[in-house]
Amino acid sequence: MLELKNVYVKYGQFTAIQNVNIQVDAGEIVVLLGANGAGKSTTFRAISGLSKPVSGEIQLEDQAIGGKSPDQIVKTGIVQCAEDRKLFTQMTVQENLMMGAYVHRKKKNEMKKRFQEVYDMFPILYEKRKDTAGSLSGGQQQMLAIGRALMSKPKIMLLDEPSIGLAPMIVEQMFETIKQINREGTTILLAEQNANAALSIASKGYVFENGKIVVEGTSEELFSNEEVRRAYIGA
Applying CB under 8 A, among 41, 43, 80, 182 the residue interacting with another protein is 80
Distance CA 133, CA 195 (A): 29
Q: Which residues pair with 215 in a beta bridge?
A: 207
Distance CA 101, CA 44 (A): 20
Distance CA 148, CA 115 (A): 9
Applying CB under 8 A, among 102, 112, 172, 227 the residue interacting with another protein is 102
134-140: Cβ within 8 A, 24+ apart: 134/87, 134/89, 134/90, 136/93, 138/85, 138/165, 138/166, 138/167, 138/170, 139/166, 139/167, 139/170, 139/173, 139/174
Tell me whether residue 80 or residue 163 sits nearer to another protein (CB atom). Answer: 80
Q: For the CB of residue 86, give the shortest distance to another protein in the complex, in Å.
A: 5
Tell me whether residue 83 or residue 209 sits nearer to another protein (CB atom). Answer: 83
Applying CB under 8 A, among 7, 32, 82, 188 the residue interacting with another protein is 82
In the range 18-77, which residues lie near another protein by CB under 8 A? 48, 50, 69-71, 74-75
In the range 188-227, which residues lie near another protein by CB under 8 A? none
Window of 8-16, 17-25, 82-90, 118-126 that interacts with another protein by CB under 8 A = 82-90
Q: For the CB of residue 162, give the shortest distance to another protein in the complex, in Å.
A: 15
- Residue among 198, 155, 143, 12 at smallest CA distance from 208: 198
Burial class (CB in 10 A: 0-12, 13-18, 19+), 121: middle
Binding-site size, another protein (CB under 8 A): 26
Interaction of residue 112 with another protein, rule CB under 8 A: no
Strand (E) or helix (H) holding 44: helix 40-47
Applying CB under 8 A, among 149, 156, 171, 197 the residue interacting with another protein is 149
Distance of CA 42 to the CA centre of its chain: 12
Window of 14-22, 144-152, 169-177, 216-224 that interacts with another protein by CB under 8 A = 144-152
Q: In the complex, which residues of this chain contact another protein (CB under 8 A)?
A: 48, 50, 69-71, 74-75, 79-80, 82, 86-91, 95, 98-100, 102-103, 105, 148-149, 152
